Structure 1
Amino acid sequence: MAMASSAYAPAGGVGAHARPGRPRFIQHKKEAFWFYRFLSIVYDHVINPGHWTEDMRDDALQPADLYSRKLRVVDVGGGTGFTTLGIVKHVDPENVTLLDQSPHQLEKAKQKDALKGVTIMEGDAEDLPFPTDTFDRYVSAGSIEYWPDPQRGIKEAYRVLRIGGVACLIGPVYPTFWLSRFFADMWMLFPKEEEYIEWFKRAGFKDVKLKRIGPKWYRGVRRHGLIMGCSVTGVKREHGDSPLQLGPKAEDVSKPVNPITFLFRFLMGTICAAYYVLVPIYMWIKDQIVPKGMPI
Protein backbone atom coordinates (compact mmCIF):
# COMPACT_ATOMS: atom_id res chain seq x y z
CA MET A 1 0.00 0.00 0.00
CA ALA A 2 1.10 3.53 -0.67
CA MET A 3 1.42 5.98 2.19
CA ALA A 4 -0.41 8.90 3.48
CA SER A 5 -1.19 12.32 4.84
CA SER A 6 -3.84 14.18 6.79
CA ALA A 7 -5.36 16.29 4.03
CA TYR A 8 -8.48 14.84 2.42
CA ALA A 9 -8.87 16.21 -1.11
CA PRO A 10 -7.34 19.63 -1.64
CA ALA A 11 -6.96 21.56 -4.88
CA GLY A 12 -10.69 21.63 -5.49
CA GLY A 13 -11.34 17.91 -5.11
CA VAL A 14 -14.94 16.97 -4.40
CA GLY A 15 -14.04 15.51 -1.02
CA ALA A 16 -12.63 18.82 0.16
CA HIS A 17 -16.18 20.08 0.57
CA ALA A 18 -17.93 16.83 1.48
CA ARG A 19 -16.35 16.07 4.87
CA PRO A 20 -13.83 18.76 5.82
CA GLY A 21 -11.60 18.80 8.88
CA ARG A 22 -11.17 15.07 9.43
CA PRO A 23 -8.08 14.40 11.57
CA ARG A 24 -6.79 11.13 10.00
CA PHE A 25 -4.09 10.89 12.67
CA ILE A 26 -2.05 8.09 11.14
CA GLN A 27 -2.20 9.43 7.64
CA HIS A 28 0.91 11.51 7.46
CA LYS A 29 3.57 9.85 5.35
CA LYS A 30 6.14 9.69 8.12
CA GLU A 31 3.77 8.00 10.58
CA ALA A 32 2.53 5.65 7.88
CA PHE A 33 6.10 4.66 7.03
CA TRP A 34 6.62 3.35 10.56
CA PHE A 35 3.09 1.96 10.75
CA TYR A 36 3.89 -0.30 7.78
CA ARG A 37 7.34 -1.04 9.09
CA PHE A 38 5.60 -3.24 11.68
CA LEU A 39 2.39 -4.14 9.84
CA SER A 40 4.36 -5.55 6.90
CA ILE A 41 5.45 -8.43 9.15
CA VAL A 42 1.90 -9.78 9.47
CA TYR A 43 0.06 -8.00 6.64
CA ASP A 44 -0.59 -11.03 4.43
CA HIS A 45 -1.73 -13.15 7.38
CA VAL A 46 -3.75 -10.64 9.46
CA ILE A 47 -5.20 -8.01 7.11
CA ASN A 48 -5.89 -9.96 3.93
CA PRO A 49 -7.99 -12.80 5.42
CA GLY A 50 -10.50 -10.32 6.80
CA HIS A 51 -10.55 -7.63 4.15
CA TRP A 52 -8.91 -8.69 0.90
CA THR A 53 -9.29 -12.34 -0.09
CA GLU A 54 -8.20 -14.00 -3.32
CA ASP A 55 -11.82 -14.27 -4.46
CA MET A 56 -12.35 -10.56 -3.84
CA ARG A 57 -9.12 -9.70 -5.65
CA ASP A 58 -10.02 -11.70 -8.74
CA ASP A 59 -13.53 -10.23 -8.76
CA ALA A 60 -12.19 -6.69 -8.40
CA LEU A 61 -9.63 -7.14 -11.19
CA GLN A 62 -12.18 -8.46 -13.67
CA PRO A 63 -13.21 -4.96 -14.89
CA ALA A 64 -9.54 -4.18 -15.65
CA ASP A 65 -9.87 -6.49 -18.66
CA LEU A 66 -6.47 -8.17 -18.40
CA TYR A 67 -7.08 -10.07 -21.63
CA SER A 68 -3.50 -10.44 -22.90
CA ARG A 69 -0.23 -11.58 -21.39
CA LYS A 70 1.51 -8.82 -23.39
CA LEU A 71 -0.25 -5.92 -21.69
CA ARG A 72 2.00 -3.49 -19.82
CA VAL A 73 0.60 -3.11 -16.31
CA VAL A 74 1.58 -0.98 -13.31
CA ASP A 75 0.37 -1.88 -9.82
CA VAL A 76 0.57 1.33 -7.75
CA GLY A 77 0.70 1.01 -3.98
CA GLY A 78 1.02 -2.73 -4.46
CA GLY A 79 2.63 -3.36 -1.06
CA THR A 80 3.43 -7.02 -0.47
CA GLY A 81 2.30 -7.92 -3.99
CA PHE A 82 -1.00 -9.60 -3.13
CA THR A 83 -2.84 -7.82 -5.94
CA THR A 84 0.15 -8.26 -8.25
CA LEU A 85 -0.23 -12.02 -7.80
CA GLY A 86 -3.70 -11.66 -9.30
CA ILE A 87 -2.33 -9.62 -12.20
CA VAL A 88 0.41 -12.09 -13.17
CA LYS A 89 -2.24 -14.80 -13.54
CA HIS A 90 -3.16 -12.96 -16.75
CA VAL A 91 -0.07 -10.92 -17.70
CA ASP A 92 3.58 -11.98 -18.08
CA PRO A 93 5.57 -10.87 -14.98
CA GLU A 94 8.14 -9.15 -17.22
CA ASN A 95 5.40 -6.74 -18.34
CA VAL A 96 4.32 -5.82 -14.80
CA THR A 97 5.69 -3.07 -12.53
CA LEU A 98 4.96 -3.03 -8.79
CA LEU A 99 5.44 0.34 -7.06
CA ASP A 100 5.05 1.29 -3.39
CA GLN A 101 6.45 3.79 -0.91
CA SER A 102 7.10 1.19 1.80
CA PRO A 103 10.42 -0.66 1.39
CA HIS A 104 9.29 -3.06 4.12
CA GLN A 105 6.20 -4.07 2.16
CA LEU A 106 8.24 -4.41 -1.03
CA GLU A 107 10.68 -6.76 0.67
CA LYS A 108 7.77 -9.14 1.24
CA ALA A 109 6.83 -8.89 -2.43
CA LYS A 110 10.39 -9.70 -3.53
CA GLN A 111 10.23 -12.98 -1.58
CA LYS A 112 7.29 -14.34 -3.63
CA ASP A 113 8.36 -16.74 -6.36
CA ALA A 114 5.41 -15.90 -8.61
CA LEU A 115 6.60 -12.28 -8.76
CA LYS A 116 10.08 -13.12 -10.05
CA GLY A 117 10.48 -11.05 -13.20
CA VAL A 118 8.19 -8.26 -11.99
CA THR A 119 9.86 -4.85 -11.76
CA ILE A 120 9.60 -3.88 -8.08
CA MET A 121 10.40 -0.30 -7.13
CA GLU A 122 9.80 2.45 -4.58
CA GLY A 123 7.77 5.45 -5.69
CA ASP A 124 5.02 7.96 -4.96
CA ALA A 125 1.47 7.38 -6.24
CA GLU A 126 1.03 11.13 -6.64
CA ASP A 127 4.25 11.57 -8.65
CA LEU A 128 4.80 8.43 -10.71
CA PRO A 129 8.33 8.00 -12.14
CA PHE A 130 7.11 6.99 -15.61
CA PRO A 131 6.73 8.85 -18.90
CA THR A 132 3.29 9.89 -20.13
CA ASP A 133 1.48 7.26 -22.23
CA THR A 134 3.46 4.26 -20.91
CA PHE A 135 1.09 1.53 -19.66
CA ASP A 136 -1.93 -0.36 -21.01
CA ARG A 137 -3.37 -0.92 -17.54
CA TYR A 138 -3.11 0.93 -14.23
CA VAL A 139 -4.11 -1.00 -11.11
CA SER A 140 -4.15 0.28 -7.54
CA ALA A 141 -5.69 -1.68 -4.67
CA GLY A 142 -5.83 -0.59 -1.05
CA SER A 143 -3.72 2.47 -1.72
CA ILE A 144 -5.98 5.49 -2.27
CA GLU A 145 -6.86 5.63 1.42
CA TYR A 146 -3.25 6.70 2.08
CA TRP A 147 -2.97 9.40 -0.58
CA PRO A 148 -2.75 13.00 0.66
CA ASP A 149 -4.69 14.08 -2.46
CA PRO A 150 -6.75 11.35 -4.16
CA GLN A 151 -7.48 13.55 -7.15
CA ARG A 152 -3.77 13.99 -7.83
CA GLY A 153 -3.16 10.24 -7.71
CA ILE A 154 -5.98 9.55 -10.18
CA LYS A 155 -4.69 12.32 -12.43
CA GLU A 156 -1.33 10.53 -12.47
CA ALA A 157 -3.10 7.28 -13.36
CA TYR A 158 -4.54 9.02 -16.42
CA ARG A 159 -1.16 10.47 -17.42
CA VAL A 160 0.82 7.22 -17.44
CA LEU A 161 -1.79 5.26 -19.41
CA ARG A 162 -1.72 4.94 -23.18
CA ILE A 163 -4.74 5.92 -25.23
CA GLY A 164 -7.38 3.21 -24.76
CA GLY A 165 -5.77 2.20 -21.47
CA VAL A 166 -7.86 1.27 -18.43
CA ALA A 167 -7.36 2.40 -14.84
CA CYS A 168 -8.71 0.06 -12.15
CA LEU A 169 -8.72 1.50 -8.63
CA ILE A 170 -9.84 -0.71 -5.75
CA GLY A 171 -10.48 0.84 -2.37
CA PRO A 172 -12.58 1.33 0.75
CA VAL A 173 -16.12 2.64 1.10
CA TYR A 174 -17.34 5.03 3.76
CA PRO A 175 -19.25 3.50 6.72
CA THR A 176 -22.65 4.66 7.90
CA PHE A 177 -22.66 3.04 11.36
CA TRP A 178 -21.72 5.78 13.83
CA LEU A 179 -18.87 3.97 15.62
CA SER A 180 -17.29 2.71 12.41
CA ARG A 181 -17.63 6.18 10.92
CA PHE A 182 -15.84 7.69 13.94
CA PHE A 183 -12.85 5.35 13.64
CA ALA A 184 -12.77 5.70 9.85
CA ASP A 185 -12.65 9.49 10.10
CA MET A 186 -9.90 9.32 12.71
CA TRP A 187 -7.80 6.80 10.81
CA MET A 188 -7.71 7.17 7.04
CA LEU A 189 -9.60 8.03 3.87
CA PHE A 190 -12.83 6.10 3.30
CA PRO A 191 -14.34 7.72 0.16
CA LYS A 192 -17.99 7.61 -0.78
CA GLU A 193 -18.81 5.84 -4.02
CA GLU A 194 -19.82 9.08 -5.74
CA GLU A 195 -16.47 10.62 -4.82
CA TYR A 196 -14.58 7.91 -6.70
CA ILE A 197 -16.66 8.52 -9.80
CA GLU A 198 -16.21 12.29 -9.60
CA TRP A 199 -12.42 12.02 -9.19
CA PHE A 200 -12.18 9.78 -12.28
CA LYS A 201 -14.32 12.07 -14.41
CA ARG A 202 -12.43 15.19 -13.34
CA ALA A 203 -9.14 13.52 -14.29
CA GLY A 204 -10.50 12.99 -17.82
CA PHE A 205 -11.53 9.33 -17.77
CA LYS A 206 -14.47 8.16 -19.86
CA ASP A 207 -16.79 5.18 -19.41
CA VAL A 208 -16.36 5.37 -15.63
CA LYS A 209 -17.89 2.41 -13.81
CA LEU A 210 -18.04 1.27 -10.20
CA LYS A 211 -18.39 -2.35 -9.11
CA ARG A 212 -19.12 -3.23 -5.50
CA ILE A 213 -17.00 -5.93 -3.91
CA GLY A 214 -16.82 -7.48 -0.46
CA PRO A 215 -16.00 -10.64 1.49
CA LYS A 216 -18.63 -13.36 1.30
CA TRP A 217 -19.44 -13.18 5.00
CA TYR A 218 -20.48 -9.52 4.74
CA ARG A 219 -23.83 -10.47 3.12
CA GLY A 220 -23.97 -7.12 1.37
CA VAL A 221 -24.09 -5.16 4.63
CA ARG A 222 -21.88 -2.09 4.25
CA ARG A 223 -22.73 0.01 7.31
CA HIS A 224 -19.30 -0.65 8.89
CA GLY A 225 -17.52 0.33 5.69
CA LEU A 226 -15.11 -1.91 3.86
CA ILE A 227 -11.36 -1.49 3.55
CA MET A 228 -11.84 -3.06 0.11
CA GLY A 229 -15.34 -2.14 -0.99
CA CYS A 230 -15.37 -1.18 -4.66
CA SER A 231 -13.52 -1.45 -7.95
CA VAL A 232 -13.67 1.67 -10.12
CA THR A 233 -12.59 1.73 -13.76
CA GLY A 234 -12.18 4.40 -16.42
CA VAL A 235 -10.81 4.53 -19.98
CA LYS A 236 -8.29 7.04 -21.35
CA ARG A 237 -9.59 8.20 -24.73
CA GLU A 238 -6.94 10.79 -25.68
CA HIS A 239 -3.14 10.94 -25.73
CA GLY A 240 -1.15 12.96 -23.21
CA ASP A 241 -1.63 14.28 -19.71
CA SER A 242 -4.89 14.81 -17.88
CA PRO A 243 -6.65 18.09 -18.70
CA LEU A 244 -7.09 18.70 -14.96
CA GLN A 245 -4.82 21.35 -13.45
CA LEU A 246 -3.87 21.13 -9.76
CA GLY A 247 -1.83 23.25 -7.37
CA PRO A 248 1.13 22.19 -5.21
CA LYS A 249 1.20 18.79 -3.53
CA ALA A 250 -0.61 18.54 -0.19
CA GLU A 251 2.33 17.28 1.85
CA ASP A 252 6.05 18.06 1.96
CA VAL A 253 7.79 15.11 3.63
CA SER A 254 11.04 17.07 3.89
CA LYS A 255 9.59 19.34 6.59
CA PRO A 256 10.43 18.36 10.19
CA VAL A 257 7.70 16.90 12.41
CA ASN A 258 7.31 17.53 16.13
CA PRO A 259 8.18 14.17 17.78
CA ILE A 260 5.34 14.47 20.34
CA THR A 261 2.83 15.18 17.58
CA PHE A 262 4.27 12.31 15.57
CA LEU A 263 3.93 9.85 18.44
CA PHE A 264 0.38 10.97 19.27
CA ARG A 265 -0.83 10.60 15.68
CA PHE A 266 0.94 7.27 15.30
CA LEU A 267 -0.60 5.80 18.45
CA MET A 268 -4.09 7.16 17.76
CA GLY A 269 -3.98 5.92 14.19
CA THR A 270 -2.86 2.48 15.32
CA ILE A 271 -5.76 2.26 17.78
CA CYS A 272 -8.21 3.19 15.04
CA ALA A 273 -6.64 0.64 12.71
CA ALA A 274 -7.09 -2.04 15.38
CA TYR A 275 -10.84 -1.40 15.31
CA TYR A 276 -10.90 -2.34 11.64
CA VAL A 277 -9.05 -5.56 12.41
CA LEU A 278 -11.80 -6.44 14.92
CA VAL A 279 -14.73 -5.57 12.60
CA PRO A 280 -14.27 -8.56 10.23
CA ILE A 281 -13.90 -10.90 13.22
CA TYR A 282 -17.17 -9.56 14.64
CA MET A 283 -18.94 -9.86 11.28
CA TRP A 284 -17.58 -13.38 10.71
CA ILE A 285 -18.95 -14.50 14.09
CA LYS A 286 -22.35 -12.99 13.25
CA ASP A 287 -22.27 -14.76 9.91
CA GLN A 288 -21.77 -18.08 11.71
CA ILE A 289 -24.57 -17.45 14.25
CA VAL A 290 -27.29 -15.65 12.31
CA PRO A 291 -29.32 -17.95 10.03
CA LYS A 292 -28.52 -17.68 6.33
CA GLY A 293 -30.83 -15.34 4.46
CA MET A 294 -31.27 -12.99 7.40
CA PRO A 295 -29.49 -9.60 7.51
CA ILE A 296 -26.55 -9.15 9.88
Structure 2
Amino acid sequence: MPDAGEGEAGLVAGFLARHRLPGLVDVHTHFMPERVLDKVWAYFDAAGPLVGAEWPITYRQEEGQRLALLREFGVVAFTSMVYPHKAGMAEWLNGWAADFAARTPDCLHTATFYPEPGAEAYVRRAVEAGARVFKAHVQVGAYDPNDPLLDPVWGLLAEAGLPVVTHCGSGPAPGKHTGPEPMARLLARHPRLPLVVAHMGMPEYTDFMDLAERYAEVRLDTTMAFTDFSEGMAPFPKGESGRLADLGDRVLLGSDFPNLPYPYVHQLESIERLGLGSEWVRAVCYGNGAALFLK
Protein backbone atom coordinates (compact mmCIF):
# COMPACT_ATOMS: atom_id res chain seq x y z
CA MET A 1 0.00 0.00 0.00
CA PRO A 2 1.43 3.44 -0.90
CA ASP A 3 2.52 6.05 1.59
CA ALA A 4 0.15 9.01 1.93
CA GLY A 5 1.22 12.32 0.45
CA GLU A 6 3.76 12.68 -2.32
CA GLY A 7 3.15 10.13 -5.06
CA GLU A 8 -0.36 9.24 -3.95
CA ALA A 9 -1.94 11.90 -6.16
CA GLY A 10 -0.46 10.11 -9.17
CA LEU A 11 -2.10 6.85 -8.11
CA VAL A 12 -5.44 8.62 -7.72
CA ALA A 13 -4.96 10.22 -11.15
CA GLY A 14 -4.44 6.74 -12.57
CA PHE A 15 -7.71 5.61 -11.01
CA LEU A 16 -9.54 8.61 -12.48
CA ALA A 17 -8.06 7.90 -15.91
CA ARG A 18 -8.94 4.18 -15.81
CA HIS A 19 -12.58 5.00 -15.19
CA ARG A 20 -12.79 8.22 -17.24
CA LEU A 21 -13.77 10.23 -14.19
CA PRO A 22 -13.81 14.06 -14.24
CA GLY A 23 -13.15 14.10 -10.51
CA LEU A 24 -14.50 12.77 -7.23
CA VAL A 25 -17.46 13.79 -5.07
CA ASP A 26 -16.75 12.68 -1.49
CA VAL A 27 -19.79 13.02 0.77
CA HIS A 28 -18.05 11.97 4.00
CA THR A 29 -15.03 14.08 4.93
CA HIS A 30 -14.36 15.77 8.25
CA PHE A 31 -13.34 19.38 8.75
CA MET A 32 -13.97 20.74 12.25
CA PRO A 33 -12.86 23.47 14.62
CA GLU A 34 -9.23 22.72 15.49
CA ARG A 35 -9.81 22.02 19.16
CA VAL A 36 -12.65 19.62 18.34
CA LEU A 37 -10.59 17.76 15.75
CA ASP A 38 -7.70 17.51 18.22
CA LYS A 39 -10.04 15.78 20.68
CA VAL A 40 -11.32 13.43 17.97
CA TRP A 41 -7.75 12.49 17.06
CA ALA A 42 -6.88 11.96 20.72
CA TYR A 43 -9.84 9.58 21.01
CA PHE A 44 -8.63 7.60 17.99
CA ASP A 45 -5.08 7.60 19.34
CA ALA A 46 -6.33 6.09 22.59
CA ALA A 47 -8.42 3.48 20.70
CA GLY A 48 -11.50 4.61 22.62
CA PRO A 49 -14.42 2.24 23.16
CA LEU A 50 -16.33 3.43 20.07
CA VAL A 51 -13.27 2.93 17.84
CA GLY A 52 -12.87 -0.78 18.46
CA ALA A 53 -9.29 -1.11 17.14
CA GLU A 54 -5.96 0.65 16.79
CA TRP A 55 -6.58 3.53 14.38
CA PRO A 56 -3.57 5.59 13.25
CA ILE A 57 -4.59 8.86 11.59
CA THR A 58 -2.97 9.04 8.14
CA TYR A 59 -3.60 12.73 7.35
CA ARG A 60 -2.69 14.66 10.49
CA GLN A 61 -1.67 17.82 8.61
CA GLU A 62 -2.95 21.30 9.29
CA GLU A 63 -6.20 22.34 7.64
CA GLY A 64 -4.72 24.06 4.58
CA GLN A 65 -2.55 21.06 3.75
CA ARG A 66 -5.50 18.71 4.09
CA LEU A 67 -7.55 20.85 1.72
CA ALA A 68 -4.68 20.89 -0.75
CA LEU A 69 -4.42 17.10 -0.61
CA LEU A 70 -8.11 16.60 -1.39
CA ARG A 71 -7.78 18.90 -4.37
CA GLU A 72 -4.65 17.07 -5.54
CA PHE A 73 -6.69 13.88 -5.38
CA GLY A 74 -9.25 15.40 -7.76
CA VAL A 75 -12.01 15.83 -5.20
CA VAL A 76 -14.28 18.53 -6.62
CA ALA A 77 -16.88 18.53 -3.82
CA PHE A 78 -16.66 17.36 -0.22
CA THR A 79 -18.22 17.94 3.20
CA SER A 80 -17.26 19.20 6.65
CA MET A 81 -18.95 16.49 8.71
CA VAL A 82 -19.37 18.01 12.18
CA TYR A 83 -21.33 16.33 14.96
CA PRO A 84 -22.08 17.01 18.63
CA HIS A 85 -21.72 14.48 21.44
CA LYS A 86 -23.83 16.49 23.89
CA ALA A 87 -26.46 19.21 24.05
CA GLY A 88 -25.38 22.78 23.40
CA MET A 89 -22.76 21.99 20.74
CA ALA A 90 -24.68 21.70 17.49
CA GLU A 91 -25.58 25.33 16.86
CA TRP A 92 -21.99 26.43 17.55
CA LEU A 93 -20.67 23.75 15.17
CA ASN A 94 -23.16 24.91 12.53
CA GLY A 95 -21.82 28.45 12.78
CA TRP A 96 -18.26 27.21 12.30
CA ALA A 97 -19.26 24.99 9.35
CA ALA A 98 -21.11 27.86 7.66
CA ASP A 99 -18.00 30.05 7.91
CA PHE A 100 -15.82 27.20 6.64
CA ALA A 101 -18.07 26.66 3.61
CA ALA A 102 -18.07 30.41 2.88
CA ARG A 103 -14.26 30.44 2.66
CA THR A 104 -14.01 27.00 1.00
CA PRO A 105 -16.17 27.04 -2.15
CA ASP A 106 -15.64 23.34 -2.98
CA CYS A 107 -16.93 22.30 0.44
CA LEU A 108 -20.66 21.63 0.65
CA HIS A 109 -22.21 23.71 3.43
CA THR A 110 -22.69 21.11 6.18
CA ALA A 111 -24.74 21.27 9.39
CA THR A 112 -25.75 19.01 12.26
CA PHE A 113 -28.20 18.65 15.17
CA TYR A 114 -28.81 16.97 18.52
CA PRO A 115 -32.03 16.04 20.36
CA GLU A 116 -32.47 19.16 22.48
CA PRO A 117 -34.95 21.99 22.88
CA GLY A 118 -34.51 24.47 20.05
CA ALA A 119 -33.15 21.92 17.55
CA GLU A 120 -35.87 22.58 15.00
CA ALA A 121 -35.22 26.34 15.15
CA TYR A 122 -31.46 26.16 14.61
CA VAL A 123 -31.83 23.50 11.91
CA ARG A 124 -34.32 25.77 10.14
CA ARG A 125 -31.84 28.64 10.38
CA ALA A 126 -29.11 26.43 8.89
CA VAL A 127 -31.39 25.44 6.03
CA GLU A 128 -32.28 29.08 5.37
CA ALA A 129 -28.55 29.95 5.47
CA GLY A 130 -27.92 27.50 2.62
CA ALA A 131 -26.93 24.20 4.25
CA ARG A 132 -26.69 21.47 1.60
CA VAL A 133 -26.13 18.37 3.74
CA PHE A 134 -26.52 17.40 7.40
CA LYS A 135 -24.62 14.97 9.61
CA ALA A 136 -26.22 12.84 12.33
CA HIS A 137 -24.00 10.61 14.48
CA VAL A 138 -26.27 8.24 16.38
CA GLN A 139 -23.28 6.24 17.68
CA VAL A 140 -21.21 9.10 19.15
CA GLY A 141 -24.26 11.15 20.17
CA ALA A 142 -25.76 8.08 21.87
CA TYR A 143 -29.30 9.26 21.08
CA ASP A 144 -32.39 7.60 19.72
CA PRO A 145 -33.10 8.99 16.23
CA ASN A 146 -36.79 8.63 17.15
CA ASP A 147 -36.48 11.02 20.09
CA PRO A 148 -39.60 13.25 19.94
CA LEU A 149 -37.33 16.33 20.04
CA LEU A 150 -36.00 15.33 16.61
CA ASP A 151 -39.27 14.52 14.88
CA PRO A 152 -39.79 18.08 13.59
CA VAL A 153 -36.14 18.16 12.47
CA TRP A 154 -36.49 15.01 10.36
CA GLY A 155 -39.78 16.33 8.97
CA LEU A 156 -38.18 19.66 8.04
CA LEU A 157 -35.25 17.95 6.29
CA ALA A 158 -37.53 15.52 4.46
CA GLU A 159 -39.65 18.43 3.25
CA ALA A 160 -36.55 20.39 2.18
CA GLY A 161 -35.08 17.31 0.44
CA LEU A 162 -31.73 17.76 2.21
CA PRO A 163 -29.55 14.65 2.60
CA VAL A 164 -28.60 13.56 6.12
CA VAL A 165 -25.42 11.49 6.31
CA THR A 166 -26.11 9.32 9.34
CA HIS A 167 -23.79 7.00 11.25
CA CYS A 168 -26.47 4.51 12.31
CA GLY A 169 -24.78 1.13 11.77
CA SER A 170 -23.17 -0.70 14.69
CA GLY A 171 -19.58 -0.51 13.42
CA PRO A 172 -16.84 -0.20 14.40
CA ALA A 173 -18.44 -0.70 17.83
CA PRO A 174 -22.17 -0.73 18.63
CA GLY A 175 -23.81 2.25 20.27
CA LYS A 176 -26.91 2.41 22.44
CA HIS A 177 -29.20 3.20 19.51
CA THR A 178 -27.32 1.89 16.45
CA GLY A 179 -28.57 -0.74 14.04
CA PRO A 180 -31.28 -0.88 11.39
CA GLU A 181 -34.34 -1.09 13.63
CA PRO A 182 -34.37 2.54 14.88
CA MET A 183 -33.86 3.81 11.32
CA ALA A 184 -36.63 1.55 10.01
CA ARG A 185 -39.01 3.14 12.53
CA LEU A 186 -37.81 6.61 11.52
CA LEU A 187 -38.30 5.95 7.81
CA ALA A 188 -41.77 4.52 8.39
CA ARG A 189 -42.73 7.99 9.67
CA HIS A 190 -40.63 9.98 7.16
CA PRO A 191 -40.49 7.86 4.00
CA ARG A 192 -39.22 10.74 1.85
CA LEU A 193 -36.25 11.53 4.11
CA PRO A 194 -33.03 11.63 2.02
CA LEU A 195 -31.08 9.41 4.40
CA VAL A 196 -27.46 8.59 3.53
CA VAL A 197 -26.37 5.59 5.59
CA ALA A 198 -22.71 6.11 6.46
CA HIS A 199 -20.22 3.25 6.13
CA MET A 200 -22.76 1.22 4.11
CA GLY A 201 -24.35 0.53 7.50
CA MET A 202 -21.55 -1.82 8.53
CA PRO A 203 -21.76 -4.44 9.88
CA GLU A 204 -25.51 -4.59 9.14
CA TYR A 205 -24.94 -4.16 5.40
CA THR A 206 -27.80 -6.42 4.34
CA ASP A 207 -30.39 -4.79 6.60
CA PHE A 208 -29.53 -1.31 5.38
CA MET A 209 -29.61 -2.42 1.74
CA ASP A 210 -33.10 -3.71 2.53
CA LEU A 211 -34.06 -0.18 3.62
CA ALA A 212 -32.51 1.30 0.47
CA GLU A 213 -34.58 -1.07 -1.65
CA ARG A 214 -37.72 -0.15 0.29
CA TYR A 215 -37.28 3.63 0.31
CA ALA A 216 -36.31 5.49 -2.86
CA GLU A 217 -34.54 8.32 -1.00
CA VAL A 218 -32.25 6.09 1.07
CA ARG A 219 -28.63 6.01 -0.08
CA LEU A 220 -25.45 4.43 1.28
CA ASP A 221 -21.95 5.87 1.42
CA THR A 222 -18.84 3.73 0.97
CA THR A 223 -16.89 5.21 3.88
CA MET A 224 -14.31 2.60 4.94
CA ALA A 225 -16.40 -0.22 3.46
CA PHE A 226 -14.62 -2.86 1.33
CA THR A 227 -11.16 -1.76 2.58
CA ASP A 228 -8.67 -4.24 4.03
CA PHE A 229 -9.07 -2.53 7.41
CA SER A 230 -12.84 -3.03 7.55
CA GLU A 231 -12.92 -6.39 5.81
CA GLY A 232 -10.84 -7.73 8.69
CA MET A 233 -13.51 -6.66 11.20
CA ALA A 234 -16.82 -6.54 9.32
CA PRO A 235 -16.55 -8.11 5.85
CA PHE A 236 -19.11 -7.19 3.24
CA PRO A 237 -21.17 -10.31 2.51
CA LYS A 238 -19.89 -11.83 -0.73
CA GLY A 239 -23.34 -12.97 -1.81
CA GLU A 240 -24.68 -9.40 -1.83
CA SER A 241 -22.63 -8.01 -4.72
CA GLY A 242 -25.58 -8.34 -7.11
CA ARG A 243 -27.76 -6.19 -4.88
CA LEU A 244 -24.92 -3.71 -4.55
CA ALA A 245 -24.74 -3.49 -8.34
CA ASP A 246 -28.50 -2.95 -8.58
CA LEU A 247 -28.29 -0.14 -6.02
CA GLY A 248 -25.56 1.57 -8.05
CA ASP A 249 -27.53 4.80 -8.41
CA ARG A 250 -27.86 5.06 -4.62
CA VAL A 251 -24.27 4.42 -3.52
CA LEU A 252 -22.07 7.46 -2.88
CA LEU A 253 -18.33 7.79 -2.38
CA GLY A 254 -17.39 8.51 1.22
CA SER A 255 -13.94 8.25 2.76
CA ASP A 256 -13.75 9.62 6.37
CA PHE A 257 -10.76 11.77 5.31
CA PRO A 258 -8.60 12.77 7.17
CA ASN A 259 -9.38 10.19 9.87
CA LEU A 260 -8.15 7.24 7.83
CA PRO A 261 -5.89 4.39 9.01
CA TYR A 262 -4.66 3.93 5.40
CA PRO A 263 -4.06 6.11 2.30
CA TYR A 264 -7.05 7.72 0.56
CA VAL A 265 -6.37 5.85 -2.68
CA HIS A 266 -7.04 2.53 -0.91
CA GLN A 267 -10.74 3.44 -0.55
CA LEU A 268 -10.92 4.00 -4.31
CA GLU A 269 -9.07 0.79 -5.13
CA SER A 270 -11.34 -1.11 -2.75
CA ILE A 271 -14.38 0.11 -4.68
CA GLU A 272 -12.69 -0.79 -7.96
CA ARG A 273 -11.77 -4.32 -6.88
CA LEU A 274 -15.42 -5.19 -6.28
CA GLY A 275 -15.42 -5.85 -10.02
CA LEU A 276 -18.77 -4.18 -10.71
CA GLY A 277 -17.49 -2.32 -13.78
CA SER A 278 -16.43 1.18 -14.70
CA GLU A 279 -19.96 2.47 -15.20
CA TRP A 280 -20.78 1.53 -11.60
CA VAL A 281 -17.51 3.05 -10.34
CA ARG A 282 -18.19 6.30 -12.22
CA ALA A 283 -21.66 6.55 -10.72
CA VAL A 284 -20.46 5.89 -7.18
CA CYS A 285 -17.37 8.09 -7.26
CA TYR A 286 -18.81 11.04 -9.16
CA GLY A 287 -22.17 10.75 -10.93
CA ASN A 288 -24.47 10.02 -7.99
CA GLY A 289 -22.91 12.70 -5.81
CA ALA A 290 -22.92 15.22 -8.64
CA ALA A 291 -26.61 14.54 -9.32
CA LEU A 292 -27.37 15.12 -5.64
CA PHE A 293 -25.17 18.14 -4.95
CA LEU A 294 -23.87 19.75 -8.15
CA LYS A 295 -27.13 20.14 -10.05
TM-score range, shorter chain: 0.3 to 0.5
More strand by share: 1
TM-score by length of 2: 0.34
More helix by share: 2
